[in-house]
Chains A and B, each alone.
Chain A
Amino acid sequence: MFKHLFKLIWNKKKQNFLLITEMLVSFLVLFAVFTLMMYYYNNYKKPMGFDYQDVWVINYNNSYQTKNVDSLDLYYETLRKTIKSLPRVKEITFVSGNIPFSSRTNESGLTFRGKHVQHLNNFTVEDHYEKVMNVTLLEGRWFNKEDVVSKNQHIIIDADLKEATFGKESAVGKLLGNDDDKNKFKVVGVIQTIKRNGDYLKAGPGMYFRTDTGSFRWLDKILVKVDHGADAAFEGKLYKTMANYMKNANVEIEHLVNKRTDANYFALVPMIILAIVSAFLVINVALGLFGVLWYNINKRRGEIGLRRAIGATGKSVAAQLVSESMILATLALIIGTFFAAQFPLLNVFDLPAIVYIEGILLSVLFVYLLVLICSLYPGKQAAAIYPAVALHEE
């Protein structure tokens, strides 16, 4: 029967071409939607890697500048003590501008053991960063005063970088970097990758450097861990403290919770737009398919009557029409999968291959389900055609 249906479809290829094209286009759009959805979902499943609740960000610029490092240190240490002495502040840390959920980046590349790591985030952090952000240490330790003097500069890496460079083996105590051993960094700890771009976007890989004596010249953010009940009144007080201390600086206070929400909105917008477009397309395809199948039934009443006369049951007529639609869908999906498979093969958007495969599988399932639903009712209508009437009509 399958061969018979295939022949029937093949001999009507001109009539079926548009339907196959419509199914193919909807598959490709659905593939884009599902791939993006799976990419977001896979990222969403990963742990956040830090605690953003009750962490405020103080942005400042045009701050105190001096060539004297001791004066600079004294200025910022005094500021640290001033802020920390405020009643609701638990801990503070100075940090480079590429804080979580911000659009600022500081990226480099790294080649290690023949593997090239691109888009490697470089973070400059202090010893207090661990407490403020409550990062999850997976191996080794966080920075401490021992890291000031060392043969190789000490660094902490995130789980993504560790996976990309050392794989399953332990990274702690190992050297990492592009250059010869003398200029390589020594890994002292591995932390859970922090999702700096929000819940839905890829986070790592990342490499953390400890601040040094000159870092205050260019650091322009402070992360403050506050009590859970810290309110707008306290925020005002914190702002005044900062503004009084940094007379000519522009100071702004943000909350990581809000920044996370903004980052998530920013990530979801293309997804929502694509989903709306695909929803329209799917509705269009569904109506088109439904219409074409309905039209086919009316056009093929004679054939349906004949099949009933020569031994087909109502159910087998319905099954035939549903099967024909499914074969058409299969043809469209074979072509569509060929194009979709080029994305992981050519690594088009630098996404893991599994995301594309999940996208393909979900799209295939969805198209089959759509075609099945759209053909069930016309199939049922065909089964109800009375053979004597249908044969007489022609």
Chain B
Amino acid sequence: MIRLQNIEKVYRTDTIETLALNSVSLDIAKGEFLSIMGPSGCGKSTLLNIMGLLDAPSKGDIRIDDQKTEGMNDKQLAAFRNKKLGFIFQSYHLINDLQVLDNVELPLLYRDTTAKQRRELAAEALEKVGLANRLKHFPTQLSGGQRQRVAIARAIVGRPEIILADEPTGNLDSAMGNEIMEILLNLNRNDGTTIVMVTHDENMAHKTHRLVRLFDGAQVQ
């Protein structure tokens, strides 16, 4: 599903050159739930951003669903992200001025869908994460766990084949973290969604199919 070959990422300033990823190669199969672990600054999020086409590698090759992403223009990248990928972030990234339903609808706004379809799909996604009774609430009226569930609903509303989750339980207590993890596991199990999750939590990581460890930008496990 996702194939990374010899990925290198170098950040350059006028005076300093930082190697964030050093020749990372990964093959992630369709329907796999992979977790990435490693100390802060080891390149986990950079790797996730590269997989999510939010950042470009300095070297190396990326293929997602057998499609080479190199050379895609902004419009093609945006369309690819919209259709194939779903994102979940540690800090949720919800728009506080929009109601829950409108937040979930967001990815569909960049697709050719009617308002009615958008509403129906968003409501369905929210029902899946157990928030069918919070459609008209604003994010500020929800708990952290509920907010992350809204973010998951937003990530799955477009029915992507891949979900990229950057520390989805990082801001939550263990009970809420487990709830979120359960939802992700169900998505993987029941819908066959490929999930790549960055986490600091060993317990969460051990619930996934495979664990990859990074250290100083290199894959150590």
| Complex A-B, nearest 5 residue pairs according to Cβ-Cβ distance, in ascending order | A311-B82, A311-B110, A388-B54, A388-B55, A310-B107
> What distance in Å separates the Cβ of A144 from its nearest Cβ neighbour in chain B?
79
What 0/1 readout, one digit per residue, does chain B (83-97) give for beta carbons within 8 Å of chain A?
A: 100010101010101
Known: A302-B93, A392-B45. A310 touches B82 (CB 8 A): yes
Contacts of B97 in A (CB 8 A): 8, 11-12
What 0/1 readout, one digit per residue, does chain A (378-394) give for beta carbons within 8 Å of chain B?
A: 00000000111001101
Among B23-31, B71-79, B183-191, the stretch in contact with A: B71-79
Q: Does A313 contact B (CB under 8 A)?
A: yes
Contacts of A312 in B (CB 8 A): 78, 110
Q: Is the CB of B93 within 8 A of A311?
A: no
Residues 301-354 of A contacting B (Cβ, < 8 Å): 302-303, 305-316
Q: Does A81 contact B (CB under 8 A)?
A: no
> What distance in Å separates the Cβ of B46 from its nearest Cβ neighbour in chain A?
8
CA distance A11 to B102 in the complex (A): 12
CA distance A305 to B79 in the complex (A): 15
Q: Does B115 contact A (CB under 8 A)?
A: yes
Q: Does A7 contact B (CB under 8 A)?
A: yes
Question: Which residue of chain A is the closest to B93 with respect to CB atoms?
Answer: A306
Residues of B within 8 A of A (CB-CB), count? 29
Q: Is the CB of A311 within 8 A of B81?
A: yes
Question: Which residue of chain A is the closest to B56 with respect to CB atoms?
Answer: A388
CA distance A170 to B131 in the complex (A): 80
Q: Does A1 contact B (CB under 8 A)?
A: yes
Contacts of B82 in A (CB 8 A): 310-311
Known: A311-B81, A391-B93, A392-B45. A4 touches B109 (CB 8 A): yes
Extra contacts, 8 of them, besides A306-B93, A306-B106 (Cβ < 8 A), are A3-B115, A306-B95, A309-B52, A311-B79, A311-B81, A312-B78, A387-B54, A388-B55
Question: Which residue of chain B is the closest to A310 with respect to CB atoms?
Answer: B107
Question: Which residue of chain B is the closest to A383 with respect to CB atoms?
Answer: B74
Q: Interface extent on A, as a size class?
A: 20 to 34
Question: Which residue of chain B is the closest to A394 with respect to CB atoms?
Answer: B91
CA distance A221 to B77 in the complex (A): 83
Q: Does B178 contact A (CB under 8 A)?
A: no
Residues 25-55 of B contacting A (Cβ, < 8 Å): 45, 49, 52, 54-55
At the interface, is chain A mostly helix, strand, loop or mixed? helix
Using a CB–CB cutoff of 8 Å, the interface residues on chain B facing chain A are 45, 49, 52, 54-55, 74-75, 78-79, 81-83, 87, 89, 91, 93, 95, 97-98, 102, 105-107, 109-111, 115, 154, 158
Question: Which residue of chain A is the closest to B138 with respect to CB atoms?
Answer: A11
Contacts of B154 in A (CB 8 A): 310
Contacts of B55 in A (CB 8 A): 386, 388
Known: A7-B102, A11-B97, A394-B93. A309 touches B110 (CB 8 A): no
Contacts of A8 in B (CB 8 A): 95, 97-98
Give the A-B pair count, Cβ closer than 8 A: 68
> What distance in Å separates the Cβ of B28 from its nearest Cβ neighbour in chain A?
19
CA distance A314 to B105 in the complex (A): 20
Q: Is the CB of A308 within 8 A of B78?
A: yes
> What distance in Å separates the Cβ of A44 from its nearest Cβ neighbour in chain B?
49
Contact sample, A vs B, 15 pairs, CB 8 Å cutoff: A3-B115, A7-B98, A306-B106, A307-B106, A310-B81, A311-B82, A311-B107, A311-B110, A311-B111, A313-B78, A314-B74, A315-B74, A387-B54, A388-B49, A391-B89
Question: Which residue of chain B is the closest to A307 with respect to CB atoms?
Answer: B106
> What distance in Å separates the Cβ of A383 from its nearest Cβ neighbour in chain B?
9
Residues 1-58 of A contacting B (Cβ, < 8 Å): 1, 3-4, 7-8, 11-12
> What distance in Å separates the Cβ of B44 from its nearest Cβ neighbour in chain A?
12
CA distance A312 to B83 in the complex (A): 12
Contacts of A308 in B (CB 8 A): 54, 78
Contact of A310 among B74, B98, B106 (CB under 8 A): B106
CA distance A140 to B52 in the complex (A): 86
CA distance A311 to B81 in the complex (A): 6
CA distance A305 to B89 in the complex (A): 12
> What distance in Å separates the Cβ of A307 from its nearest Cβ neighbour in chain B?
7
Q: Is the CB of B87 within 8 A of A310?
A: yes
Contacts of B79 in A (CB 8 A): 311
CA distance A230 to B33 in the complex (A): 102
Q: Is the CB of B54 within 8 A of A313?
A: no
Q: Is the CB of B95 within 8 A of A303?
A: yes
Contacts of A1 in B (CB 8 A): 109
Q: Is the CB of A309 within 8 A of B54?
A: yes
> What distance in Å separates the Cβ of B22 from its nearest Cβ neighbour in chain A?
18
> What distance in Å separates the Cβ of B134 from its nearest Cβ neighbour in chain A?
16
Q: Is the CB of B102 within 8 A of A4?
A: yes
Q: Is the CB of B111 within 8 A of A309?
A: no
CA distance A392 to B105 in the complex (A): 23
CA distance A53 to B83 in the complex (A): 77
CA distance A307 to B83 in the complex (A): 14
